[in-house]
Amino acid sequence: MTTPQPTPATPTKPTAGYGLLVAVFACPALLLFGWIYNLVTGDGSGSGPSSTLATAACRVLVEDRLVAPSTADFSNLSASEGSGDRWTVTGSVDAENRLGTPIRMDFTCVVEYDGGDWRLVRMSGLTG
């Protein structure tokens, strides 16, 4: 005659970690949403475009002029508001040239916001 073996206990799922897991993923997602919202809507002051938007517009315009835009590394970015919705953005970009050699180029980008799009007024630098 055989003796019945005890049935092993079914493991239970831990539930305490789910709240932490949600917090770890939800908080960065909310911060990212807030940053993108601020980037799109400006600085919230209602006075038109922000320095963040002007800088982002100039970054795109600079990358459009590079041989290898995917290698672009921007630094020393500074934006100052001019008359109306005109902004001057200065900075440096490290990017590869046609030979694949990384070079640093300083630039000045003047953009104007026309209510829907950014328009390039003047670009200087980017030689190297």
**What do you get for the CA distance between the two ends of the chain, in Å?**
91
- Tell the CATH topology of 38-125: Nuclear Transport Factor 2; Chain: A, (3.10.450)
Of 22-26, 34-38, 56-60, 92-96, the least confident: 22-26
Verdict on whether the full-model pTM lies above 0.75? no
Q: Are 88 and 109 in contact (CB under 8 A)?
A: yes
Q: Are 105 and 128 in contact (CB under 8 A)?
A: yes
> Would residue 34 be called left, alpha or beta, if left means φ above 0 and alpha means ψ between -120 and 50 degrees?
alpha
pLDDT per residue as tens digits for the range 49-61:
788 999 999 999 9
